[in-house]
Amino acid sequence: MDAEEEEHQTRMRMGAAYIYNQRERANSISYHGGSTMNHRVIDRNREEGHARVCRNYFFDTPTYTDTQFRRRFRMRRSLFMRIEEAVMANDNYFTQRTDAVGVRGLSSLQKVTAALRMLAYGTAADAIDDYVRIGESTAIESLRRFVKSIVEVFGTEYLRRPNAEDVSRLLAENEQRGFPGMLGSIDCMHWKWKNCPAGWQGMYTGHVHEPTIILEAIASKDLWIWHAFFGLPGSLNDINVLDRSHLFEELAEGRGPEVRYTINGHEYNIGYYLADESVRKDVERAFGVLQSRFAMIRGPSRFWDVGTMKYIMTACIILHNMIIEDERDLSMEEEHFETNTEIPTVTHIPRHPSTFREFLQVHQQIQDKQAHVQLQNDLIEHLWQIHGGDTN
């Protein structure tokens, strides 16, 4: 054996010895438990957690009543089951699986229950471990996948823009309340961001003096939220948010409904949204109900990325609308609105603006300050004619 070959064999033996020593060192001083090195594996008895949830809420004769179920899950059992089936069909993460040694994993009921408890109570991810038998990292993953599935499955239906039939109903309802042509109530809400990165805090800090993210929303009398625009930094004011939102996008592009109504002898063909009234308006009530149902968005957010927060906020709004629909009184759905004036008609704008000039003209019409002042004065006169003689 020449010197070159002997040197090569020596290097091979040294490399093999190094690999062997590294393996022995790893086996002697550490082990891999769960998803974290040197972390002891906890036998949570997942099947007992599933059985406990079923006994308490989902058996034919559960431990807790329907009223207690609704208070703790923020919805009726039938709606919960509909949501659980939908997210399980949308994401196989929620399907219960069995590992190679026959041990069953977490059920969809456990994962959905964990996600809803975190949304409803705003608790930390590890606060439900002893009840649902689910680890902290798994609870966070369940929440992320749950809110994403809610947006993907139900977003199109429960966060849609009002169609012609919806607009007619909203106009009739608001006509009876003394606001002809009103399409809804608009305002902004700030969600505090506890874990905002230090480099972004100046951009996200406004009048609240803490980092926040803004939600712009429109709600109707029944507290249904028709429009939601979330994600802008808290340093912006309401006008800045309105300029950046897609609220008037359809109208400017010629795809929105055209509303025709008369106030104080003046004719209008564009609906309006009520803002900054002296009394508590519909959207503020909707914000209050939304935050009372889902405490996670009432307290400061502990997430690090805006994307997750956007999914959470949007999912809570969708669930809020689903609960309203599920619990709406049938007599309210069939309510007829009587008014002494003609109910405004709703038609569709016939075509898209053919040129950029026409597009700008529509935008200018929406932002016409003189028309805004005239509408405001006409509404004041109209309300005075209706309620001017009231002593209360």
| The pLDDT of residue 260 | 84
What stretches in the chain show pLDDT beneath 70? Answer: 1-40, 254-257, 278-280, 329-356, 358-360, 363, 389-392
CA distances from 56 to 94, 119, 142, 149 (A): 20, 20, 21, 25
Question: Between β-strands 257-263 and 225-233, what pairing exists: parallel, antiparallel or unpaired?
Answer: unpaired
Nearby residues of 356 by Cβ (< 8 Å), 6 or more positions away:
none
DSSP code, position 301? B
Cβ atoms < 10 Å from Cβ of 243 = 11
Residue 261: what are its φ and ψ, rounded to 5°? Answer: -155, 165
SS3 205: strand
Tokens coding 182: 């009103």
What is the pLDDT at residue 243? 84
- Which pLDDT score, from 0 to 100, does residue 101 have? 74
Output the CA angle 334-338-341, nearest 5 degrees.
Answer: 140
Q: Are strands 182-192 and 272-274 parallel, antiparallel or unpaired?
A: parallel
Q: What confidence score (pLDDT) does residue 36 get?
A: 61
Find the angle CA(136)-CA(40)-CA(23) to the nearest 5 degrees. Answer: 125
CA-based Rg of the chain, rounded to a whole angstrom?
29
The H or E element spanning position 10 is: helix 3-29
What global pTM score does this model have? 0.81
pLDDT digits 0-9 by tens, 20-30: 455 555 444 44
Tokens of 21: 């020593």
Q: How far apart are the first and last CA of the chain?
A: 112
Helices (H) then strands (E): counts for the chain: 16, 9
The reported pLDDT for the residue numbered 140 is 94
- The pLDDT of residue 251 is 73
Nearest residue to 263 (alpha-carbon basis) of 389, 384, 363: 384
Nearest to 219 by CA among 198, 262, 188: 188
Domain definitions of the chain by residue range: 46-157, 164-387
Digit-coded pLDDT (tens) for 70-99: 999 999 999 999 999 999 999 999 998 887
